[in-house]
Amino acid sequence: MADLDSGHIFLTTLAPIKGVNAESGTGISHEQRVRIALAQLPTALQSPATQGIGINSPLARNRRTHLARMFVLSDIVYNGRNPQNPLVATAKGIDPVDPLPIDQLSTAYLVFCADVDAIVNDGDPLPHNLTKAQQKAVRASYARKLWDTMGDELQDIYQNCVGFEGVKTADDFAAYLDKCHVETTMPFHDYYLDLPKFNELNTKLLLGAVLVPAAIAVLSLLLRIFGMLHLPMLGFSTFWTFVVAAVVTVVVALLAIAYALRNGAKPLPPAKHDDLPSVLKGLYVQQTFSDFVIDHQAAEPNELHRAFGDYLARHRPENKMSPTQTPGVISIRAEGGITL
Amino acid sequence: MQRSLDLDDIQGNVTRAYGRYAFPFSRSFFLNIQDCGKGRQFVDAVRKKVTTSATWTEATKPRCTVNIGFTFFGLYKLLVPQRTLRDMPEEFISGMRDRAFLLGDRDPGKTEAEAKGWDAHWDPIWQQNRIGDGDIGNDNVHIWVSFNAQLKELGKAEPVDELEKECQWLRDLCDHLAGGVRIIPHNGRAGDQEYQEGSVLFVQRGDKLIPTPNEHFGFTDAIGDPVFRGQLSDAEAKDAVIGTGKWMNAKTGWQPIEPGEFVLGHPDESQELPPIARPPEFMTNGTFMSYRKLHQNVGSFEAVVAEEARTYAKLQAIDEPEARETLRAKMCGRWSDGVPLAQAPTYAEWQAMSEKLGFNVADPVQALWNKLNYIRSPEASNFRYADDMLGYKTPLGAHIRRMNTRDYMDPLNQTGIDPATGCQFANPNATHGLNKRRRILRRGLPYGPPPGAEKTDETEQGVAMISMCASLQRQFEFVQQQWIQYGLDFHQGNDTCPMLGNHHQHKRFSIQSDPASGKPPFIMSKLRTFVECRGGDYFFVPSLTSLRMMAMGIIDPT
């Protein structure tokens, strides 16, 4: 469930890159070609050098992507021999001179990760929870959006990946990316303005549910050991009370653990103003409003009132879609920094 | 029992800010090694004179101190084994010029091509530094030798005669080595000075020149240096640590910072030994140093404060002199005489406190004495920010709040107004958790024109800034990059430090206001770059053991 958290999908996909011998030809491996295609992909206009190039990241052509990253995972890192207790190894007859097998990936992978709004239509509010099918629909909708806005670039990159040959349409790409999808285990979220109500565990209740039958079991056992065959007043057999209470303890404990794990896996609610259009609008308002404040320091009330009215009319803070900061630029002062 | 540091093995400037120990004058010489053998002879001669951290009495206190440090290429020239050199931290190997981008010396708003000639305003000695590593015909800085001298006579701005004697000894030594090691005589703006001079600022009082703890913008400087374990005797440390060590909790109180933050080879605040090159003896008890010549644009500073003060005075309904003093204090975090805003948030409170502390008495020597007593007392340092998370007293982006965040960054701090009291949350349990790994030792002195001379942007004045720490990258560079040249940790976005920051792009500084005062916040928006680097480099300040190993050429990393 960790793909979805705080109203965002933390998408992780791994597409296997074709092997060295899969196709003969130019002497450039597919892994090399993916690296070349990625190197040619422009980054967002977020540093002086990239601003100088002037070509924005194709991922900035949509208003769902908060962050995205594509890279080649060549192989896993070799950490050396597995450490082991020398006494145990000697007893087992393991010769430390014999090399151990080295774990390797069967192929290189193209990894594509993105933090995107968990929505199917631009501007929708962020959801708190989604079923598996709904999450799949969100992923497919995002994949189609990517295909519609950066299909050529995707073609360049993914044509070096296994099984991409048949991908011709947005729907094909959505299906392909879904095959590459792996569940995210550690999403990262950085937007909370106010902390929401987290899925707190009622530990007292859970502990009580386990400890009460456990206490009855222990008590019954002790009474049995000290020779009491029946519980006073109730008259139940101490042995059977012990057995039943012990079974109940184990069952409740297992249920409590399962409940705690499920509670931990629940997605957190989205933060206020957490979707990309709101974030961009927030940046826009922050910049325009601080200029407004500086320009009107020590202004007369009437003038301030009139000017603020003009400000609201011009910048429309209530409309998150426009005017706003363009995705992929560092400030509204950058060239093309404002989307009207 | 806690094992104490081997003070005899640690150079004296690591544990002592000489300025505070009545050494108001300094001279920094920068030297070039042409010949390894002569270089070793040089190190052997200097090491016998090096002032250590050993405890001194009035009788044994030197009149003039001697200390030494090496750039990476200095160690390279002395044929320190490559295996040792390769274990050195990358920022030390790269040097300050290469790190200009992250230090804010090179405009981060320009590409490498656009920034060509970015160091044109550096002093010639630093412009010509780190150009190749050939033997002949370059002026790369390899060695730094510094002398700090006592005052000859109170009332005059003159160092003791021993200072010139030591300088002459250095010149004679270089002459004797016949060019194998030579002094690079290109210091200063015009590149015509043999050494970089440093001196505390003196003021004319009647017929006397009185030393002050001020810098050129008129603020009291050098107050809150960190105190670390083993630096001082237990008796001295007891008071010294208040406000300058780390605040643990109400029960344990102020504790000295672990020595590994400042002296290599000792455990640091992460409960680990900082990484050092092999052999361990080479770096143990040594430290790293950043030398930066920081020019101060006094004219710009005065002009900007005066201009902003006009709007501020109108907005706050106060007169302009009060507005100027208040803006200056808000930028710094302390009033000009060193009283922290955290203790005296308003002009009236400050005036009352200065009066009480005797800063304005008629006798200038007594006034200085009162001031020195105050800034060296725990009162001047014993304050916190966690009870002012909204910056009503000390603005969130103020200079001293950025340099030493104290307990402000404790992640458990509550921000806002406590409904129970109507005031800000007191956060009594806040600790120095995220601050204690970013501290640096400040060992520099101001430089500049004689007392009474006019100061503009063009006149040469500033601070020959020396920062010492175990990791230049984790401590010095982090503070410079994240806290001076950036403001996110203080909720200031890209706004840089109002005093030290680069203001070519980011010209704003927000001054928060307590809504209870009925006064609006104020945003200074016309800041210019008031402090500019004029060059510098990174140095390794070895232990006495290490100096001996270098002199003998017996560093065995195997």
Q: Is residue A187 part of a domain?
A: no
Radius of gyration of chain A (CA): 30
Predicted pLDDT at A53:
87
Q: Inform me whether the C-beta atom of residue B522 falls under 8 Å from chain A C-beta atoms.
A: yes
Flag whether pLDDT at A79 surpasses 90: no
Q: Inform me whether the C-beta atom of residue A52 falls under 8 Å from chain B C-beta atoms.
A: yes
Angle between helices A132-158 and A170-180 (to 10 degrees): 110
Q: Is residue A193 part of a domain?
A: no
Report whether B45 contacts B37 (CB < 8 A): no
CA–CA min distance A74, chain B (Å): 27
Shared-domain flag, residues A219 and A302 = no
Shared-domain flag, residues A168 and A309 = no
Flag whether pLDDT at B336 surpasses 90: yes
Shared-domain flag, residues A11 and A151 = yes
Q: How far apart are CA B374 and CA B243, in angstroms?
A: 13
Q: Which of B118, B509, B519, B525 to mutate to test the interface with A (most CBs of A within 10 A)?
A: B525
Task: Report pLDDT digits (tens) over B91-132.
Answer: 999 999 999 989 999 887 788 888 899 999 999 999 999 987
Shared-domain flag, residues A27 and A166 = yes
Q: Tell me the C-alpha to C-alpha distance, in Å, between residue B450 and each of B156, B308, B332, B397.
A: 12, 29, 25, 33
Shared-domain flag, residues A93 and A232 = no
CA-based torsion, B129, B131, B134, B136: positive or negative: negative
Q: Is residue A216 part of a domain?
A: yes
pLDDT band at A26 (very low <50, low <70, confident <90, very high): low
- B377 secondary structure, DSSP code: S
Strands B25-33 and B143-149, how do they pair? antiparallel
Predicted pLDDT at B558:
84
Structure tokens at B258: 């672990």
Q: What percent of chain B has pLDDT over 70?
A: 99
Compare A64 and B111 and report the one with higher pLDDT.
A64
Cis peptide before B279 (omega within 30 of 0): yes
pLDDT band at B1 (very low <50, low <70, confident <90, very high): very low
Taking an 8 Å cut-off on Cβ atoms, the answer to whether A48 and B314 are in contact is no
Report whether B322 contacts B351 (CB < 8 A): no
Q: Where are the alpha helices (DSSP H) in A21-131?
A: 30-40, 48-53, 86-92
Task: Report pLDDT digits (tens) over A90-129.
Answer: 999 988 777 788 888 889 999 999 999 999 998 899 999 9
Q: How far apart are CA A24 and CA A27, in angstroms?
A: 7
Task: Give the pLDDT mean for B469-493.
Answer: 96
Taking an 8 Å cut-off on Cβ atoms, the answer to whether B112 and A298 are in contact is no
Flag whether pLDDT at B528 surpasses 50: yes
Shared-domain flag, residues A22 and A43 = yes
- Count of domains forming chain A: 3
Question: B331 φ, ψ to 5°?
Answer: -65, -40
- Complex ipTM, two decimals? 0.73
Q: Which of residues 55-74 of A touch B (CB under 8 A)?
A: none
Task: Report pLDDT digits (tens) over B20-41.
Answer: 899 999 999 999 999 999 999 9
Residue in chain B closest to A298 (alpha carbons) equals B315
H/E segment holding residue B551: helix B544-552
Shared-domain flag, residues A234 and A295 = no
pLDDT band at A25 (very low <50, low <70, confident <90, very high): low
Shared-domain flag, residues A100 and A238 = no
How many residues are there in chain B?
A: 558
Flag whether pLDDT at B501 surpasses 50: yes
Domain stops at, among A224, A246, A265: A265
Compare A222 and A78 and report the one with higher pLDDT.
A222
Taking an 8 Å cut-off on Cβ atoms, the answer to whether B314 and A298 are in contact is yes
How high is the mean pLDDT of chain B?
A: 93
Closest CA to B247 of B383, B415, B445: B383
Q: Which of A46, A194, A291, A294 to mutate to test the interface with B (most CBs of B within 10 A)?
A: A294
Shared-domain flag, residues A160 and A119 = yes
Flag whether pLDDT at B550 surpasses 80: yes
Q: Inform me whether the C-beta atom of residue B234 falls under 8 Å from chain A C-beta atoms.
A: no
Top mean pLDDT of A42-46, A94-98, A273-277, B348-352 is at B348-352
Report whether B292 contacts B536 (CB < 8 A): yes
Q: Is residue A207 part of a domain?
A: yes
Predicted pLDDT at B429:
92
Predicted pLDDT at A1:
54
Taking an 8 Å cut-off on Cβ atoms, the answer to whether B109 and A48 are in contact is yes
Shared-domain flag, residues A66 and A97 = yes
Q: Tell me the C-alpha to C-alpha distance, in Å, between residue B216 and each of A35, B300, B301, B400, B495.
A: 54, 12, 10, 17, 23
Contacts made by residues B364-368, CB under 8 angstroms, sequence distance 24+:
B364/B203, B364/B205, B364/B206, B364/B208, B364/B210, B365/B154, B365/B205, B365/B208, B365/B210, B368/B210, B368/B211, B368/B212
Predicted pLDDT at A23:
53
Task: Give the pLDDT mean for B338-360.
Answer: 95
- A19 secondary structure, DSSP code: P
Range of the domain at A283: 276-339
Predicted pLDDT at B134:
61
Shared-domain flag, residues A24 and A118 = yes
Number of A–B residue contacts, CB under 8 Å = 23
Predicted pLDDT at A187:
85
Domain stops at, among A147, A182, A217: A182
Task: Report pLDDT digits (tens) over B437-460.
Answer: 999 999 999 999 988 899 999 999
Q: Is residue A270 part of a domain?
A: no
Q: Inform me whether the C-beta atom of residue A234 falls under 8 Å from chain B C-beta atoms.
A: no
Q: Is residue A18 part of a domain?
A: yes
Predicted pLDDT at B157:
94
Strands B143-149 and A338-339, how do they pair? unpaired
Task: Report pLDDT digits (tens) over B399-419.
Answer: 999 999 999 999 999 999 999
Closest CA to A157 of A109, A117, A107: A109
Shared-domain flag, residues A96 and A36 = yes
Query: Which residue of B315, B508, B525 is in closest CB contact with A298?
Result: B315
Task: Report pLDDT digits (tens) over A127-151.
Answer: 999 999 999 999 999 999 999 999 9
Q: Is residue A282 part of a domain?
A: yes
Q: Which of A45, A194, A293 to mutate to test the interface with B (most CBs of B within 10 A)?
A: A293
Predicted pLDDT at A114:
96
Domain stops at, among A127, A147, A182: A182
Q: Is residue A220 part of a domain?
A: yes
Report whether B152 contacts B88 (CB < 8 A): no
Flag whether pLDDT at A22 surpasses 60: no
